[in-house]
Amino acid sequence: MKIKRILAVALIVAALLFPSCAGGDGEMTTAPETSAVTTAPITENTTEAPPPAPDELLVLRDAAATDRVIDGGRAELLAKDYGIRITERDDIDIVKTVRTAVLAGKSDDCGALLLTTKSAVELFCEGHLQNLSVAGIEADAHLPSDDVSRALSFGGGVYMLYSNALSSKFTSAYGVLYRADTLEEELAKLVLDGDFTLEIAMNMAKGADSSLSANIEAKGISFIYRGLGGKLFDVGEGGLPTLAFGSDADAAAYRALLGSSASITAEGGMFTVTRLSAAEKGEFYLPMPKANSAQAAYVTPIDTDAASVLALPYGITSGALAKRAFEALSVLSADAPAKMAAALAPAEGDARTIAEKIVTSLSIEPSLVYGWGDMSEYLFENLVWRVDIDTVLADKSLADRREAVDIAASIIKSRIEKQGEEE
């Protein structure tokens, strides 16, 4: 009995000293190793899947165009950040190439188009350009409400995009180069207050024994006229052009131009009408003067002969990739107006503020785009002969030009309607 009691006590002591040896059900279990345990390293799979190959977009480029969409490092950014690889291919007869592709039902072979305004107009008038909205490219996503492309909206559609991605949108525009050592505070205030008129500019030029000059040719005269707020054409029914020359505002602009023709034809001087470019030391850009203080805003006319556009061929089956590319180019070029203003006026201050006003007031005169009536030459001829404005408006040749515009507009309208029926 004594031995049994001693054995029981021994078992109790053993259980207290080695609790891990007893299972919950009273069975013996194997005690874990108390020595250091070496664990095999876990190797993580750090190899990432390669990024998808960028989508390829062919941009067929008019060899005569002054722009490229993939310069300035944009090609790398488009591929890296937007997954789009753009390939530009020059074409010396792009009108024929696009026409042939559209008529053969192979528009997708062309991709997007980078055109001169001249080739774009020719293709548009033949019905070979696509309304961008039909391809899913909405103007509102790319253009401010007063963008120049909207002036070329026909039949409710935008066919030519004067994108900020194309530098010629700015470098083909005209302003007044002011050649002086400093930008006078009084002149800066006049410009910023909207009071810089032709009369003030001419009085300043006369006081300095100088002049306001421009190339004495039809196009130069047209730039002056349009800079003074004159319009040769306006947007009429269906977004088609109607002759606007002859309104009260245009007559005032024409009279202002007519009255200052002697000074305008003189070369050199304090003020010179020229294309926008980087300003040199002692030079400042001013907007084209207003005809008078009643003119609502300054106008910065664009020489469309030197401006390029983005477009799509008619019949393209899917504009999704072009839409992505145009949107990406729009984002990458959002600072283009600011950069141009900085080139016109490198230093901050009144000159920079004026430059910003210039580059945000771009304007296109449809007559210079489509060549209907050749009104620029007509303006020039009457300016030289100093014909009275009332005589100009009653001139038979003006009526002939009006008829030419009406015929051209009716042809384009019928093409737009036919295109709409096909779509």
Three-state SS for 267? coil
> How far separated are the first and last CA of the chain, in Å rounded?
111
Which pLDDT belongs to residue 423? 66
Which pLDDT belongs to residue 388? 75
Helix (H) or strand (E) run with residue 105 in it: none
- Strand 308-311 and strand 112-116: the pairing is antiparallel
Which pLDDT belongs to residue 11? 39
Which pLDDT belongs to residue 24? 40
Instruction: Please give the chain's pLDDT, 423 residues, in tens.
Output: 434 443 343 433 344 334 433 334 434 333 444 444 444 455 555 566 666 778 899 999 999 999 999 888 899 999 999 999 999 999 999 999 999 999 999 999 999 999 999 999 999 988 899 998 888 888 777 677 678 887 778 777 889 999 999 999 999 999 999 988 888 899 999 999 999 999 899 888 887 777 888 776 777 888 888 898 888 887 777 777 777 877 777 888 888 777 777 677 776 788 889 999 998 888 999 999 999 888 999 999 999 889 999 999 999 988 899 999 999 998 999 999 999 999 999 999 999 999 999 999 999 888 778 777 567 777 777 766 777 777 777 888 888 888 888 888 888 888 777 776 776
Nearest Cα to 353, choosing from 238, 192, 206? 192
Residue partners of 21: CB distance under 8 A and separation at least 6: 28, 29, 31
Which pLDDT belongs to residue 269? 80
CB atoms within 10 A of CB 69: 26
Biggest CA–CA distance in the chain, Å, is 147
Give 251: exposed, middle or buried? Use CB within 10 Å, 0-12, 13-18, 19+.
Answer: middle
